[in-house]
Structure 1
Amino acid sequence: MKETNHDQSVGSLFRQALEKKMTSDLSRKHKDNLRHLYNHFMLFLGDEGREIPIRDLTTAQIEAFLHRYDSSSTHYMNKRRELSVLFNTAARLIDEKLLTVKRTEPRRIKAKLNLAYEKEQLKPILNFVKANHDNLYLCCLLTYGCFLRPHEEIRLLTKKHFKAGNTEIHLAGDENKGGKVRVVYVPDYVRQELEPVLDGIKRDDNIFSLCKTPFNEAYFSKQWSRQKKGLLNYGLIYPNQTLYSFRHSAAIDVFRRTKDVYLVQKMMGHSSVTVTLKYLRSLGEFNTEEMREAAPVL
């Protein structure tokens, strides 16, 4: 008897769902996360579990799998969301609703306040990093001055990305998180540090490795972790300040000087102003003074 779409096994449908997502317009990180989750879920189900029809999966089975990610509410909900992506894709393949993941227990994620650098922290931090690691220093400058994300957008920069006398960086849609062509301005203080590097490499060379092959994805995370010990020992940063804090600080600086959320959206490369508003609120903006001045008056 021929197997119908609705009787396809979990393993078969999930493999098709994963293949479909791998060819879609998703970031490499998102694809890697989906691939890892798929592998873990298939191992969890075992040989017998992978052969059952997908409609026979129970909510209890899914919750048992998700409980492996109980280390934090954020971790749990991220895995729940990724599993939903695969289930929803599988559901479209058989043209049927699959509510198994939606029926699992959600977890409430506590709002986490991202900590930007205070203005007086910036130069001492940058001076310390410059004295200890040239590439990380350049990454910090680009994160702050150009609003780029360090681990993908900055790490993969080559000489050919710099245009208009090195005053602009041009990123294609598949080279930045927003998925659209992005052009960012390069401030003078960034350009002064960049130009000696650009002058010494070829068009397709990476600005950090100085050859065509970029450093691996963990490169800046590892370099920052090493420098963070010294930064903390000298009291230059707080424990919950990170490499991304340069980007947070830049967003706050522009917003406080201009009060223009749409300008911040454009400079940050956010997909919508709603994303920018959430971002600013997570950084502690809008502050109490602004709320006091804007409060209704009787």
Structure 2
Amino acid sequence: MLFEEVLEEYLYHCLAKGFTKKTMINKRQEYKQLNLFLKEKRGLTELESITVHDLRAYMRYKQQQDGLQPQSIVTMFKMIKAFFNWCYKEEYLRENISRRVELPRVPKKVLNGFTEKEVQTMIDAFSYKDYIEARNKAMIAIMADCGLRAMEIRGLKSKNVKDTSLLVDGKGNKQRMVFVSPTLKRILIKYERLKSQYFKEHIAYDDRYFLSYQGREISHTGLHKVVKVAGERAGVQNKRVSPHTFRHFYAVQALTNGVDVYSLSQIMGHSDITVTQRYLQSMSKEQLFDKAIASSPLMNMGRNR
């Protein structure tokens, strides 16, 4: 069976599963590179002829030719592993040969997260003087108080913003409910008022909750620029100022304040609890101490006397 033909079938399978446009672009690019490598470097065109040695050779090739770091290699190989796992389930292969490929160890990096003061200052860095300022304040506040991904902020629909909750479209088109605190709701109400006024004179081409000044969905670059401006105005230094760092801030605060890892994984839309557990590794000694004291059996027994 031709490798290219099976790849094409698998990509249609992914489309049917509802993978995002960005994910499909990444998959097509990676499979195209793998196909070229197998054909030109290993002389292979048949799926059944591919061995674990060929996949190991491809991984070494990516490391040497493209200079990919361990984390990038692991991310890349997840797509390849998914394809061969599908081939095995469809009985095109007798085994998933990708399972026998050892991946490089990814060094654990502790993210230097935001402090509460920094986050508050970044929210306060924007005013309510016009629509764009209020929009930016609301986006920063939602990232800090709900821990949404960048794509979830940009894709949030107006109809899914309720009084006390947000219906979020997460990865893999999986929806989840995220709750809105009264403090955040106050910011959103003021934003909605200015948004309504602004779009009385401008056309809204999209149903997204957050729109560009042109009335369209905010771009990936546009959102990151807003976060960068917030960091600059607040004077945040020596830290990665990005939507993910806000997500990290939310997770650490939730864990510090007693939310269990399983509940947090549901709130953040993680498919695997091990992803959520990484946030525990980034907590400071002071945060872990506070968490330990708050959950101390003897301390709690003392409160009940």
TM-score (norm 1): 0.76
1:216 maps to amino acid: S
CA offsets per residue over residues 2-59 of structure 1, 9 Å max, x none? xxxxxx0111112212221221144444333222211222233347978632121233
Match for residue 208 of structure 1? 211
Structure 2 CA distance for aligned equivalents of residues 48 and 275 of structure 1: 36
CA drift of 1:284 comes to: 1.6
Match for residue 219 of structure 1? 222
CA offsets per residue over residues 69-99 of structure 1, 9 Å max, x none? 4421110111111111112222333443344
Match for residue 145 of structure 1? 145
Check whether the contact 2:88–2:96 (CA below 8 A) recurs between aligned residues: no
Match for residue 64 of structure 1? 57
1:163 maps to amino acid: K
Match for residue 161 of structure 2? 162
CA drift of 1:221 comes to: 2.7
| Percent of matched pairs sharing the same residue | 18
CA drift of 1:149 comes to: 1.6
1:112 aligns with 2:112: no
Moved more, 183-192 or 155-164: 183-192
Q: Tell me which of 81, 98, 101 is aligned to 1:101.
A: 98
Aligned residues: 280
2:74 maps to amino acid: M
Change (3 A) 1:82 1:162: same
Change (3 A) 1:139 1:279: farther
1:92 aligns with 2:86: no
Match for residue 245 of structure 2? 245
Structure 1 CA distance for aligned equivalents of residues 142 and 195 of structure 2: 14
Moved more, 70-79 or 29-38: 29-38
1:156 maps to amino acid: G
Change (3 A) 1:144 1:99: same
Structure 2 CA distance for aligned equivalents of residues 223 and 58 of structure 1: 47
Structure 2 CA distance for aligned equivalents of residues 265 and 110 of structure 1: 23
Check whether the contact 1:9–1:50 (CA below 8 A) recurs between aligned residues: no
Change (3 A) 1:240 1:159: closer
Moved more, 32-41 or 72-81: 32-41
Q: Tell me which of 160, 168, 175 is aligned to 1:180.
A: 175
Unpaired runs of at least 5, structure 1 = 1-7
Moved more, 70-79 or 124-133: 124-133
2:106 maps to amino acid: I
Structure 1 CA distance for aligned equivalents of residues 205 and 136 of structure 2: 21
Check whether the contact 1:159–1:204 (CA below 8 A) recurs between aligned residues: no
Unpaired runs of at least 5, structure 2 = 297-305
CA drift of 1:141 comes to: 1.2
Report matched runs for 1:47-58 at 5 Å.
52-58=45-51
Change (3 A) 1:254 1:81: closer
SS at match of 2:166: strand
Check whether the contact 1:115–1:241 (CA below 8 A) recurs between aligned residues: no
Check whether the contact 2:52–2:98 (CA below 8 A) recurs between aligned residues: yes
Change (3 A) 1:181 1:259: closer
Match for residue 38 of structure 1? 31
Structure 2 CA distance for aligned equivalents of residues 26 and 99 of structure 1: 22
1:185 maps to amino acid: V
SS at match of 2:167: strand
Change (3 A) 1:82 1:265: closer
CA offsets per residue over residues 147-203 of structure 1, 9 Å max, x none? 3222x1111223222224xx43223xxx22371342432523432442224424469
Check whether the contact 1:121–1:237 (CA below 8 A) recurs between aligned residues: no
Structure 2 CA distance for aligned equivalents of residues 259 and 180 of structure 1: 21
Structure 2 CA distance for aligned equivalents of residues 237 and 189 of structure 1: 29
Match for residue 254 of structure 2? 254
SS at match of 1:170: strand
Match for residue 4 of structure 1? none
Match for residue 13 of structure 1? 6
Match for residue 75 of structure 1? 72
CA offsets per residue over residues 123-166 of structure 1, 9 Å max, x none? 2223335599734433211111233222x1111223222224xx
Match for residue 236 of structure 2? 236
Q: What's the RMSD between the two structures over aligned residues?
A: 3.7
